[in-house]
Structure 1
Amino acid sequence: MGIVWLIIVGAAAGFLATRFMNLRLGTLQTIGVGIGGALIGALVLRFLLALTGMLAGLVGAVLGAMLLLWIIKAVMDR
């Protein structure tokens, strides 16, 4: 079922992409472009999500360290 779904989504994506770009391709080329575009898009999206996740981790770590320093300062000022 996965391959059939990939071909259906690839055909739809290729059809839409060729219409948006004002190109006329054959059916197999349109499906191939759609499947290739889906693979490239998935890789780019995974990369961006991973990068965003790492950045969010860094921001969280900095905020956590700042909170810890604030607590230490509050305790030492007593």
Structure 2
Amino acid sequence: MGVIWLLIVGAAAGFFATRIMRVEASVPVTVAIGMGGAVIGGLIVRALLSVMGLFAGLVGAVLGALLLIWLWQTYGPK
């Protein structure tokens, strides 16, 4: 089922990409373009998500630290 799904998604992606770029290509070339684009796009998206994941962790840590500082200043020893 995975190979069939890859072919269907590759064909659709290749079809849309060739139409957007106004490229005339045969069906096998269109499917190959779509599958190659899926691999490249998947790698780029995974890289961005991993970087954003690290960034989100940093943002969460800073927000948590800010909350702790506020609590300490508000309710801590005076």
Taking structure 2 as the reference length, what is the TM-score of the superposition? 0.89
1:71 Cα offset (Å): 2.0
- Structure 1 residue 73: Cα displacement: 2.2
Provide the identity percentage.
53
1:12 is displaced (CA, Å) by 1.1
Query: In structure 2, how many angstroms separate the alpha carbons of the residues matched to 1:53 and 1:30?
Result: 33
Q: Any runs of at least 4 consecutive aligned residues in structure 1 with deviations exceeding 4 A, and if so which?
A: none
Deviations 1:21-61 (A, max 9, x none): 00001111111000000111111111111111111110110
Structure 1 residues 25-40: aligned runs within 5 Å: 25-40=25-40
Task: State the aligned residue count.
Answer: 77
Give the superposition deviation at 1:4. 0.8
CA distance in 2, matches of 1:63, 1:9: 40
Alignment of 1:1-78 (within 5 A): 1-74=1-74, 75-77=76-78
Which range moved further: 32-41 or 65-74? 65-74
- Which residues of structure 1 form unaligned runs of 5+? none
- Normalization by structure 1: what TM-score? 0.89
Q: For structure 2, which runs of at least 5 residues remain unmatched after alignment? A: none
